[in-house]
Chain A
């Protein structure tokens, strides 16, 4: 089976986000053939090159989303009219007042259809004529947007759009619709795969959507973080008109993707709720937890006694969303109850904001906790230590988790808590805040407290620090749970099953051609569409009255 894997800023590139997961998937499903269709994130990523690819990856197509080349095609009268019609339709849908989608009910189908039709119209235009990049930035496009915004039925924010807003929306839409101009939608490109697997929603799934339209290729969408939500959180600081039109575009795109997809696999219940909210059918949703490699944590997991019983560990990337301040305040409370306790904060910032935050936390720690020493003649140290992975005795995250008796997670925002799962693999008792998919990941195998509540966090930690038996029990349960749910093997086998199910349900029917390129009549006989082995010598479905004297094996009837 040939899988078209659609990625963005990820897989074949070194250090791409989500690249590790795709790599494991591709290596795990070595019976299938993979064609990778990748969008690169930026120029630095393109220069960094690819990871080594296994032999089952037969082809890699890449395209940049961060830049677009104008192919110099200038539309004639007819093409311009076609473009104006479709773009106008798209703009009209985006400007139309939206009715709230309530879960369980179908979104307004006519609007969704109009969006889909406009998108397809633009894609077909790009395939037939090219030149879409220039057209999307042209006066025709801006005028169509203006017309749509001034239509009587338009939503309020759109009606207030000024000229700079229109230009900004046009520029954003041009960027968003770049996948339409790619040369991937050919018979020997995305037309040749049996299944498109988009590794993220949003623009990454757009080629899959078009492949579905052009060739009827079934689409599978995996979302670990919902793109629409990311769009809302990282929205540019623009005027309400711009934000409202772009939110409408991304919302409609998500709804259309979920509508066309054969299956949607959210990475956790949190993503699943968002997808349901955006119009994904409940029957199409299959939660597939991300898989993580358990091997590096096996040693720490098998020897829970190695941990220092008075140490708390926090591991992660330092950033404000992790709320280390709250953790430090909680630790102050813990120290009142259990004076000998130490806190290890292991991690480093990844951006300037994180660096500033780390400095702030260090200052706060120095202020809250004076250095302390064992006796009058020894050098003291702060009970809170800030360390980085790769430091002495901390080669891997496993070492960090292994060094403490309790792992703490104090985030206020979290997607799927990978660090928490690693702690579970290490069989460590955990105390975490109730955010994102934490409760879902931890199940009942750790303590969960409300976010931004240092006292509750402190109480939970103290109760665990005082009770070694409970720690051991929770740790063992956590490890068992992680090994069952969050391993690479379960992830890969879930996808293997879903692939087979999709291909069995919605096989791609291709017209077979003979040597001269004419359609070959009767190349696929009608029996090919009959479920089961039609070449099987024994008659499969035999009426009861006829089966009297020819006994059919039980396995056959059961099939």
Chain B
């Protein structure tokens, strides 16, 4: 490159093809250029001016670039390897992936055990401390790692408060419903599964523990989607390959939740509430999956509707105690008598997660969902 002048002197005029030497020297540039102007810009960046171009019998750099563009053969140009994805922070990422999502589950299990072991006032403090610790851990798990949203979402969205309601209902709702049907409750819950207003701790512990499989599933999904993105030829191909993947991973997650809730129920010696826990777990997982990919609207609406449905059902039960409103309680009472108090959350959450599943299988296979986020500047 240092010797444009030397090139001129060393090649006798007319004897050889000076452009060929130039082409050889700038082969990379010419093969990868998408139009002659790109070659012209590249040549200028290498110090070739119109006066240099005159030595190649060209009027200016542009016409020289056009000749180069026309003469280079692009047919056998090997496709360049895709830019390697950065794996610099793999170590830190793995810690986040393994430890952080496990934290809420561990803390929740510890709180459940502590609730069993303490009595009286100490139990109240334990419960408060447990709730606080689990909330903080959950917050941390959702802020970093595979469950974190790609785009900024408002810190205090209504979706979060309705999620709290749904979990609180799992903890307290079944007990409340059971006592309310028979005219209770007569006091606040005492923190045991045996009292007047019993707590159902096992599903909540199972849900907290399922944060970890949720994170891993989301991670696997992201990795697989990236690979499919690279390998698929068209948008239809991509959608067709992602949809079964999505459903399979969702089923896997539900299976994990089923195992977890069975195990916790057995360990904590509580009746098994499999359908309602599965429904709620599926609902929350899908809502988070959509939020991760930037679809915040649908989860918010569905969560709000679900919680509102449960709230209304409870309200009818208590409103029926007003004189002349007996008929209001009939549907819920029928449901509770013929099935169980768990029917209410099962039906509401089940319907909601079905809706979200349909929405997810329509939205996530869209390639536009996976447009790489803008690099921070």
Using CB atoms and an 8 Å cutoff, list the residues of chain A in contact with chain B: 42-43, 66-67, 98, 100, 103, 137-139, 141-143, 146, 150, 157, 162-164, 166-168, 170-171, 175, 228-229, 232-233, 235, 237, 239-240, 243-244, 247, 251, 273, 277-278, 321, 412-413, 433-435, 450-453, 456
Contact = CB atoms under 8 A, between A and B. Distances in A.
B66 A450 contact: no
A452 B233 contact: no
A239 B3 CA distance: 32
B2 interface: yes
A433 B2 CA distance: 13
B371 A232 contact: no
Given A163-B367, A167-B372, A232 B229 contact: no
A142 B47 contact: no
B44 interface: yes
Nearest to A98: B35
A334 to B, nearest CB: 18
B41 interface: yes
A142 B42 contact: no
What are the 7 A-B residue pairs with the smallest beta carbon separation, nearest first? A244-B34, A232-B41, A451-B47, A412-B47, A139-B368, A139-B366, A142-B368
Contacts of B369: 139
Instruction: Identify which of A103, A142, A433 gathers the most chain B CB atoms within 10 Å of its CB.
Output: A142
A277 B369 CA distance: 39
B2 A452 contact: yes
Given A168-B372, A170-B368, A170-B371, A162 B37 contact: no
Contacts of B80: 239
Nearest to A241: B34
Interface of B: 1-5, 32, 34-38, 40-42, 44-47, 49-52, 60, 62, 66, 79-80, 82-83, 229-230, 232-235, 237-238, 366-372, 374, 377
20 contacts: A42-B377, A67-B374, A141-B368, A143-B235, A150-B234, A162-B232, A163-B233, A167-B372, A168-B372, A229-B37, A239-B80, A240-B32, A247-B37, A251-B35, A277-B37, A412-B47, A413-B44, A413-B47, A452-B3, A453-B5
Contacts of B229: 163-164, 167
A435 B368 contact: no
Nearest to A238: B83
A240 B235 contact: no
B249 to A, nearest CB: 20
B1 A229 contact: no
A138 to B, nearest CB: 6
B1 A237 contact: no
B4 A452 contact: yes
B29 to A, nearest CB: 11
Contacts of A66: 377
A413 B48 CA distance: 9
A244 B37 contact: no
B374 A244 contact: no
Contacts of A142: 235, 366-368, 371
A138 B368 contact: yes
Contacts of A166: 235, 367
Contacts of B38: 232, 235, 243, 247
B34 A100 contact: no
A512 B376 CA distance: 47
Given A167-B370, A167-B371, A434 B35 contact: no
A100 B60 CA distance: 15
A452 B377 contact: no
A256 B366 CA distance: 33
Contact of A434 (B32, B36, B51, B79): B51
Nearest to A435: B47
Contact of B371 (A43, A171, A433): A171
Given A143-B235, A412-B45, 12 more contacts: A100-B66, A138-B368, A141-B368, A163-B233, A163-B235, A167-B367, A167-B368, A170-B371, A229-B44, A244-B35, A278-B37, A452-B2
Nearest to A246: B34
A434 B235 contact: no
A232 B5 contact: no
Contacts of A251: 35, 37
Given A244-B34, A247-B34, A412 B46 contact: yes
Contacts of B34: 157, 240, 243-244, 247
B46 A139 contact: no
Contacts of B370: 167
B372 A450 contact: no
Contacts of B234: 146, 150, 163
Contacts of A228: 37
B362 to A, nearest CB: 10
A435 B377 contact: no
Contacts of A146: 234-235
A422 B238 CA distance: 58
Contacts of A168: 372
A137 B368 contact: yes
Contacts of B371: 137, 142, 167, 170-171
A450 B5 contact: yes
A103 B3 CA distance: 30
A166 B32 CA distance: 19
A206 B51 CA distance: 34
Given A166-B235, A229-B41, A412-B47, A100 B36 contact: yes
B35 A139 contact: no
Contacts of A452: 1-4, 47
Contacts of A157: 34
Nearest to B75: A156
A451 to B, nearest CB: 4
A194 B230 CA distance: 50
A163 B32 contact: no
B298 to A, nearest CB: 12
A195 B40 CA distance: 33
A42 B37 CA distance: 29
Nearest to A250: B37
A170 B370 CA distance: 11
A232 B39 CA distance: 9
Instruction: Identify which of B83, B233, B234 gathers the most chain A CB atoms within 10 Å of its CB.
Output: B234
A135 to B, nearest CB: 10
A260 to B, nearest CB: 21
A221 B333 CA distance: 76
Contacts of B36: 100
Nearest to A243: B34
Contacts of A43: 377
Nearest to B80: A239
A139 B45 contact: no
A412 B79 CA distance: 30
Contact of B45 (A137, A164, A233, A243): A233
Given A232-B42, A233-B41, A450 B368 contact: no
A66 B370 CA distance: 20
B37 A232 contact: yes
Nearest to A433: B47
A450 to B, nearest CB: 6
Nearest to B46: A412
A95 to B, nearest CB: 12
Contacts of B3: 452
A174 B66 CA distance: 31
A163 B238 contact: yes
Contact of A413 (B5, B45, B83): B45
B4 A450 contact: yes
Nearest to A235: B38
A163 B369 CA distance: 12
Nearest to B49: A434
A240 B38 CA distance: 12
A98 B34 CA distance: 11
A209 to B, nearest CB: 21
B59 to A, nearest CB: 9
A83 B58 CA distance: 45
A164 B228 CA distance: 10
A451 B47 CA distance: 6
Contacts of B35: 98, 244, 247, 251
B83 A237 contact: yes
